[in-house]
Structure 1
């Protein structure tokens, strides 16, 4: 376990560097926003495109792994929703809390870190789980919030969901990469070198941006945020483990990648959604801060436990 922990230290050290730089205002919020945009629209998109262009759809999509991860994530989603209702929260607040408890930082942290820690063979299952998060659970949040506010379903909801997916650069990059892969053509050398160079910037820039963004997060409503962090760091990997080892058993390596991915801290885009809809952004902000801080220990522990 110590060896794995030491391998994760540089990743979290970069997060800490970004946090410190933003905390002392050497790296202002405007710079953090610009760096995040660069990672999201360019560097991470290039990384996803390059990985996807070297993989086939059959290599990424595994029905049992998808079902196992979906079942485990849905389980923690329902638990978080139930706890919110027990606390007499309304539907839209319960939905954002469930999103906080079940959606990890797979794009910015998980893909670059787990690909290095577990090897490039981990990329295909990570892309599958990232796609499930972006397509299934992000869409579910839009549906629940819209129903809570309008009191009904409408065709406009699906138009909104579709537009959001088309505009998401991670989805676009994966689809574009798979289109290249399906064509049977390899990327021209100059294009491959370009996307490799750009994609290599994703890891350090994404980690630094995560840390810098945490500096603006506040640790308010600690009881609720602490519970959501516990659900994300402990319950989510536990439920996904039940899915990949018991409910829909998959090969040991795939299972390890799924559980490690589920152990990631709360995703930053959950805060963006909470802020966009005006639903409990403070508790989501605090959960991101708390879960990221504790994930320094929990992620390495989970990887040590499940890595075959």
Structure 2
């Protein structure tokens, strides 16, 4: 257990540091938000491109992994959506809850955690696959349901936003370069290597800052039930499908770990956009706090 804590405690200390500097006004929330955009648009895309372009394409583009992670994502989306509807929520609210349960914070949280546990090579390989599932399957499904429920059909805007995602662009570009079989020029390779250690710790600081900016409301049941759905049921579904599809054990464990991190930080923005800001903020704070215990137990269970 001490080994597990030594792996995960730095992750949450960085989150706490980001939380603390914003809550004490040592650093402004807007400054941390700008830093977050820099991480999302420069650091992570650069290191993602480097990781994918440097590995053989057949080792990176794993269809068995994609099928398992996509199946788990769509499965927990469906379970959460149906449960919310049975409890009397409208389609837009049910779609929002389903989004919270099915889309992990892969960039700011999953990538650093998987890097800490499995190393950067494995982390970036599975991160690219998570991006494909989230941006091409889960998010379009969730947003499409919420948009149609609210009478705001904008599939063109959704497609345009997806195609402009710098992480998705970096993934596709990295895979395309890997397909050529050409090595990166040495100066370019060394530049990417210099950026590699920066992305993960800064991303965790930004997560803490984002939580510090949230204003949770009364503890509603919707926010509470999203905790076990996101942190327990989703990784369990992914784990079962990884076994079913005979995915490489190390990659499978990395996928389960990514499924077990809190929902994406922009869930709070979606909550604001669809009229449920308190639900989204409270659920995000609860999931971030509880995930320390669930992730610690999961890493111990996976024996990594």
Q: TM-score when scaled to structure 2? A: 0.93
Q: Which runs of 5+ in 2 are unaligned?
A: none
- After superposition, the Cα gap between the structure-2 partners of 1:279 and 1:48, relative to the gap in structure 1 and judged at 3 Å, is farther
Deviations 1:237-284 (A, max 9, x none): 111122112x33323222211211111111112223333x33312211
Q: CA deviation at 1:13?
A: 0.3
Alignment partner, residue 44 of structure 2: 44
Match for residue 237 of structure 1 among 217, 235, 238: 235
Aligned to 1:88: 88
Structure 1, unmatched stretches of 5+, are none
Alpha-carbon offset, residue 99 of structure 1: 0.6
Runs ≥4 residues deviating over 6 A:
none
Deviation at 1:47, TM superposition (A): 1.7
- 1:259 corresponds to which residue? 256
> Which of these residues, 266, 286, 289, is aligned with residue 285 of structure 2?
289
Q: Distance in 1 between matches of 2:286 and 2:84?
A: 19
Rounded Cα–Cα distance in structure 1 between residues aligned with 2:263 and 2:150: 25
CA distance in 2, matches of 1:76, 1:203: 27
Aligned to 2:202: 205
TM-align CA RMSD: 1.8
What is the aligned counterpart of 2:295 among 289, 292, 299?
Answer: 299
Note the C-alpha offset of 1:200. Answer: 2.3
The answer for the alignment partner of 1:129 in structure 2 is 130
Deviates more, 1:93-102 or 1:111-120: 111-120
Report matched runs for 1:98-247 at 5 Å. 98-119=98-119, 120-150=121-151, 157=155, 159-222=156-219, 223-245=221-243, 247=244
| CA separation of 1:47 and 1:112: change in aligned 2, threshold 3 A | farther
Is contact 1:72–1:239 with CA below 8 Å preserved after alignment? Answer: yes
Preserved contact between residue 42 and residue 198 of structure 1 (Cα < 8 Å): no
User: Quick check: 12-21 or 122-131, which moved more?
Assistant: 122-131
State the shift of 1:26 in Å. Answer: 1.2
Per-residue displacement from partner, 1:55-101 (whole Å, max 9, x unpaired)? 34422222222222222222211121112112221111111110101
Tell me how far apart the structure 1 counterparts of residues 142 and 73 of structure 2 sit (CA, whole Å). Answer: 14
SS in 1 for 2:266: helix
**Residue 106 of structure 1 contacts residue 267 of structure 1 at CA under 8 Å; is this kept in 2?**
yes
How far 1:122 sits from its partner (Å)? 4.2
Whole-Å separation in 2 of the counterparts to 1:24 and 1:206: 19
Q: Aligned partners of 1:106, 1:2: CA distance in 2, in Å?
A: 25
Q: Are the equivalent residues in 2 in contact too, given 1:5–1:301 (CA < 8 A)? A: no
Q: Quote how far apart the aligned CAs of 1:129 are.
A: 2.0
